[in-house]
Amino acid sequence: MFFSGVDLLYRIPALLIALTFHEYAHARMAYAWGDATAKNAGRMTLNPISHLDPLGTLMVMLVGFGWARPVPINPFHFRHREKGLFWVSLAGPGTNLLLAFIAALILFLTTGNLPSLYRWAAPGILEGILIWVVFINVFLAIFNFVPLPPLDGSKIVRSLLPRAYAHYYQSFEAYGPFLLILLLVLGLLTRVLLPIASFIIGGINLLVLILTGHYFL
């Protein structure tokens, strides 16, 4: 489905924020674990142009899920290969969840409203952008936790598997993008992830209320 010009006005800045910080977090964490591959490739930057993938960006705009251009890493440079791969893979979606929380907090402090997938009011530009920052970051996080190559979830699983099984799991990497696109186009992945996204947004909202003193047991 395509979106109106006003809707895109909200979605595009939110998309750029989500994808840029996601990939920057990967690059920064890889560097912290001893791998300078991403830094040397110019990917340890908050310049969104360095991170955007044309197909992944289009999929986010059309169906709500997608990906950026993967940050290059070399796990053999990590001080500890499996631990480094785990934390580098977790850094991207983890940063997206943190951004979603920050956006929800700012939204509540400035408007008194909280984001909800099932309730939409005609907001101002800032409120609209903040709402979509929450939505896209949550969707991008849970999408990347899907354990299919080349998403972060597959690398997290691979880092936790014994080496023999990890090699077998990695052999499916070439088929991952095609399977993901098929699941997205058919809407099957969306049906599974929407309830998860709603639950996470509810948890973020609860945390915002607790931290701002508006939730009482």
Active-site annotation, residues: 23
Question: Looking at this protein, which amino acid is placed at residue 37?
Answer: T
- Rounded to the nearest angstrom, the gap between the alpha carbon of residue 57 and the centroid of all alpha carbons in its chain is 12
Residue with tokens 């949550």: 138
**HSE-CB for 163 with a 13 A CA cutoff:** 2
d(CA 168, CA 100): 35
135: nearest Cα among 165, 169, 166, 99? 99
Six token digits for residue 117? 């997938």
Contacts of 217 (CB under 8 A, 6+ apart): none
Residues 176, 150: contact at Cβ < 8 Å?
A: yes
Tokens of 121: 């009011």
Q: How many residues does the chain have?
A: 217
What is the C-alpha to C-alpha distance for residues 200 and 204, in angstroms, rounded to an integer? 6
State which amino acid sits at residue 159: S
